[in-house]
Amino acid sequence: MVLHAPNPTVSRSPRYDRLTPADSTRLHDAAVSILERTGARLHDPEAVERLHGAGARVGDDGRVFVPGSLVDWALSVAPRSVTLHDRAGQPALALEGDNVFFGPGSDCLNVLDHRTGERRPALLSDVGDGISLVDALPNMDFAMSMFLPSDVDPAMADRRQMAVMLERTSKPLVVVTYDVDAMADAIAMAEAVAGGPDALRERPQVALYVNVTRGLVHNGDSLRKLLILAARGLPAIWVPVTSGGTTGPVTTAGNMALNQAGVLIGIVLSQLVREGAPIIVPGFGGDALDLRTMVDPYAEPDHRGVAPSLAHHYGLPMFSLAGGADSKVVDQQAAAEAALTMLVDALAGGHLLHDSGYLESGLTGSLAQLVICDEIAAWIRAAIAPVRIDDETLSLDLIDALGPDGSFLEADHTLAHYRERWYPSLIDRLSHSAWRAKGARTMGERAAARVDELLAAHKPPPLPDAVAAAIDEILARAAATAGLSTAAR
């Protein structure tokens, strides 16, 4: 375990490496060994043929064995940086180096209502509120759907999520779709906003998040998505899901090696389709099912920092997991789990950190918890920011002028610089008497109130009428294909 301390005079953001370079090399070599020795099942003929044509061996049982030389080539040509843009086409998030950006997750089945405290099925209006809140929160840098709406026909749910996201925020988006057809419609909507296919490819507002069955089993739909995204030059987030103790070894190293084999397949395929295609690897993996409760914990510490170390070893952009809690409510456990995971992954340089606002191991989302995560993100940014050390900030002349017993309270230097300190917007620093005078509210109560304040005050910039009409046309066409009326969308 190595913690890189900042230079004492030219301070920079510190970075925490869970793995040594030798550890990362051994994990990578293990993943390549799995691909060469055990092979993987790919349920898409084109994907198999592309790998076979590039030198992979296909066994009699259909398993594909990928040589290390092909992996080396793919890693050498995959882009070292991916930049996501805002709605206006301006660069917003450069996924490179030690940059860190925060955002929510997607597709929670339930919402913990911040007004009633009730856990209930999520609605499309919750998706809209969540996206509007992300747009208003200064430390949420990208948006995801957060909720899966129960009041929309499943044939249209992901498309409606996409339309709401494009309507309610100008921030970059990470998008999940059920299938290839829905992904095509989501891309078409994003193209309408960007100004066409070329504009979206050159200045992508969206990255498409593709989950894969497991490290060595790649489902056809996910493979088709990857091939299409690579061909179009759009950012793909390729995430195999290997659960320690069930679909992979229970040990962090073994499960990480197995999962990483699946990650490498995605990198190879994307580069075979289009050399330089933007690919974003997972900054998480190696986690295990809690075999006492049979719950897949989101805030497990054991695997933290392992995948980010490996991604930095490759020099590739990554999509990390932080801010999610296993607690069922907005309480001390939820705050602790969110803060710890966000801090560790920020120090690990995890690039896109998603799942802020998650509760119940990803089954429930909370807007109040999202507000708390925004405050945590602000604290983390202040804690890891470079420190300015120069004549003005050292203020040696002032110290000498005031002497051992002087007061700095009235000094012009204090007036000039005190606003540079970090001041919380949600964390309480009042005296006990002042806190009681203001209602003695807990952090959770203050966060719930903040949700309503922000939703009432913040109005995301509207889409141009022509763009909104184009999105409506895409939705109407998809609804008709699914045999649904316009009202049922």
Structural domain includes residue 362: yes
Structural domain includes residue 5: no
Select from 36, 133, 12 the least CA-distant residue to 448: 133
Structural domain includes residue 31: no
Structural domain includes residue 486: no
β strands within 88-193, DSSP E: 91-95, 100-104, 110-112, 119-121, 173-175
Structural domain includes residue 61: no
Report yes or no: 226 and 269 within 8 Å, Cβ to Cβ.
yes
Structural domain of residue 212, as residue ranges? 76-384
Structural domain includes residue 47: no
Cα–Cα distance, 440 to 431 (Å, whole number): 11
Report yes or no: 241 and 286 within 8 Å, Cβ to Cβ.
no
Structural domain count, the chain: 1
Cα–Cα distance, 53 to 70 (Å, whole number): 11
Strand-pairing partners, residue 364, are 110, 359
Report yes or no: 18 and 27 within 8 Å, Cβ to Cβ.
no
SS3 helix, strand, coil % of the chain, rounded to 5?
Answer: 45, 15, 40
pLDDT for the residue 15? 84
Structural domain includes residue 1: no
Cα–Cα distance, 13 to 15 (Å, whole number): 7
Cα–Cα distance, 78 to 233 (Å, whole number): 12
pLDDT for the residue 286? 87
Q: For residue 250, what is the domain's CATH number?
A: 3.20.20.480
Q: pLDDT 10s digit of each residue in the chain, 489 long?
A: 344 443 333 335 678 999 999 999 999 999 999 999 999 999 999 999 999 999 999 999 999 999 999 999 999 999 999 999 999 999 999 999 999 999 999 999 999 999 999 999 999 999 999 999 999 999 999 999 999 999 999 999 999 999 999 999 999 999 999 999 999 999 999 999 999 999 999 999 999 999 999 999 999 999 999 999 999 999 999 999 999 999 999 999 999 999 999 999 999 999 999 999 999 999 999 899 999 999 999 999 999 999 999 999 999 999 999 999 999 999 999 999 999 999 999 999 999 999 999 999 999 999 999 999 999 999 999 999 999 999 999 999 999 999 999 999 999 999 999 999 999 999 999 999 999 999 999 999 999 999 999 999 999 999 999 999 999 999 999 999 999 986 444
pLDDT for the residue 486? 65
Structural domain includes residue 446: no
pTM of the predicted model as reported, rounded to 2 decimal places: 0.95
